[in-house]
């Protein structure tokens, strides 16, 4: 039995399920709307039986796991807020977190693509790990002082992007995402002397960008010629739907692929996506890793058929 932990209406999850249906294998999907109605855990035997929104799950029957997104979920308590109830609610949430951590630990004993513990990586730590493995990383500084920023800008332009994940504002009629932005001396003039702690990286001149998806031990890479469009040259996520970026399949040099595999191993990831730049000076620069592993944007344009390959990996350990 294959267990999929995801969120409702996730397109990649739906694509994988279609292939599992095609191959006629059994699977269970738990998404963010599935509430744990009942659970029994025997720590001595590591047995777990739970019922989520009418779906019964026996961990003994689970042979492989695909962690996409989300987590286990319990019913929210509803009571009048006061000092005692707030303390009890905090206590119950901590109890649940400990239990869920144990459930993920047990699932980690089985073959899995992605894992809950690896869903969050610290991008600054990853940059340092990458540097230590011999990968080139952008010149990166973090500061909240205009004086220090101006000092760094004497060496050339920077870009700024979130240290963690970008913020976005959503509504019924609008979407305001946070994109990578160029910072130069002229723009810095408008900064206050002290501002919010921010990350700045050297603005690298690129020939193309690379999104490379790692599936266990094999890379599936795509070159993105984002610099050919003024709209996408700084951040390819600012898609030009009228004239999309040219994208082609790409093969990483073995020396770069080997270092990325070592990095993935250090992060306990066997399914993830790496972002790199190939510069105008013919150098590969590592940017970051997406631990969830966004593969749809690579699969379809490059005809890699990754949805089928992921399903087959899960099935291999289910037989």
- Same-domain check for residues 10 and 56: yes
Domain end: 168, 183, 202, which one?
202
Query: Does a structural domain hold residue 244?
Result: no
pLDDT band at 215; cut points 50, 70, 90: very high
Nearest to 300 by CA among 12, 17, 22, 4: 12
Domain end: 87, 117, 147, which one?
117
Query: Does a structural domain hold residue 7?
Result: yes
- Same-domain check for residues 7 and 104: yes
Question: What's the pLDDT score for residue 150?
Answer: 93
Long-range residue pairs from 281-284, CB within 8 A, at least 24 positions apart, any chain: 281/205, 282/207, 283/136, 284/135, 284/136, 284/210, 284/253, 284/256
- Same-domain check for residues 103 and 145: no
CB–CB of 5/30 below 8 Å?
yes
- Same-domain check for residues 11 and 62: yes
Compute the distance between CA of residue 159 and CA of residue 184 in angstroms, rounded to an integer.
Answer: 8
Range 141-145 average pLDDT: 94
Question: What's the pLDDT score for residue 318?
Answer: 59
Mean pLDDT of the chain: 88
Query: Does a structural domain hold residue 81?
Result: yes
pLDDT band at 69; cut points 50, 70, 90: confident
- Same-domain check for residues 8 and 110: yes
- Greatest mean pLDDT among 59-73, 167-181, 209-223, 290-304 lies in 209-223
Characterise 39 by phi-psi region: left (phi > 0), alpha (psi -120 to 50), beta (else).
beta
How many structural domains is the chain composed of? 2
- Same-domain check for residues 96 and 45: yes
Nearest to 271 by CA among 289, 250, 249: 289
Query: Does a structural domain hold residue 134?
Result: no
Query: What is the domain extent for residue 47?
Result: 2-117
Compute the distance between CA of residue 123 and CA of residue 202 in angstroms, rounded to an integer.
Answer: 16
Pairing assessment for the beta strands 64-67 and 2-5 based on DSSP bridges: parallel
Structure tokens at 171: 């509504």
Single pTM value for the model:
0.88
Query: Does a structural domain hold residue 21?
Result: yes
Q: Tell which wins on pLDDT, 48 or 116.
A: 48
Question: What's the pLDDT score for residue 240?
Answer: 58
**Local structure of residue 171 (DSSP, 8 states):** -
Least confident range from 99-103, 119-123, 161-165, 200-204: namely 119-123
């Amino acid at each position: 039995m294959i267990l999929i932990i995801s969120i409702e209406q996730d397109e990649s999850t739906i694509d994988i399920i279609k292939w599992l249906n095609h191959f006629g294998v059994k699977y269970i999907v738990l998404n963010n709307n599935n509430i744990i109605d009942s659970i029994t855990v025997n720590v001595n035997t590591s047995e777990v039986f739970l019922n989520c929104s009418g779906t019964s799950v026996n961990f003994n029957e689970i042979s492989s796991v695909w962690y996409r997104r989300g987590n286990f979920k319990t019913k929210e308590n509803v009571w009048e807020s006061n000092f005692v109830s707030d303390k009890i609610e905090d206590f119950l949430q901590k109890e649940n977190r400990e239990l869920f951590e144990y459930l993920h630990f047990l699932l980690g004993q089985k073959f899995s693509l992605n894992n809950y513990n690896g869903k969050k990586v610290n991008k600054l730590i990853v940059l340092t790990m990458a540097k230590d493995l011999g990968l080139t990383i952008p010149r990166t500084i973090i500061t909240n002082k205009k004086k220090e920023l101006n000092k760094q800008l004497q060496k050339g332009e920077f870009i700024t992007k979130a240290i963690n994940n970008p913020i976005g504002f959503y509504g019924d009629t609008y979407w305001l995402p946070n994109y990578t932005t160029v910072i130069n001396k002229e723009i810095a003039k408008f900064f206050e002397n002290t501002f919010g702690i921010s990350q700045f990286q050297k603005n690298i001149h690129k020939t193309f960008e690379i999104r490379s998806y790692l599936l266990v031990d094999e890379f599936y890479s795509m070159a993105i010629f984002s610099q050919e469009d003024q709209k996408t040259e700084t951040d390819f996520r600012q898609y030009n739907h009228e004239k999309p970026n040219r994208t082609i399949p790409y093969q990483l040099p073995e020396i770069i692929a080997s270092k990325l595999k070592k990095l993935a191993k250090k992060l306990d990831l066997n399914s993830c996506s790496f972002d790199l730049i190939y510069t105008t000076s013919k150098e590969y620069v590592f940017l970051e890793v997406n631990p969830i592993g966004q593969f749809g944007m690579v699969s379809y344009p490059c005809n890699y058929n990754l949805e089928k390959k992921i399903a087959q990996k899960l099935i291999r350990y289910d037989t």
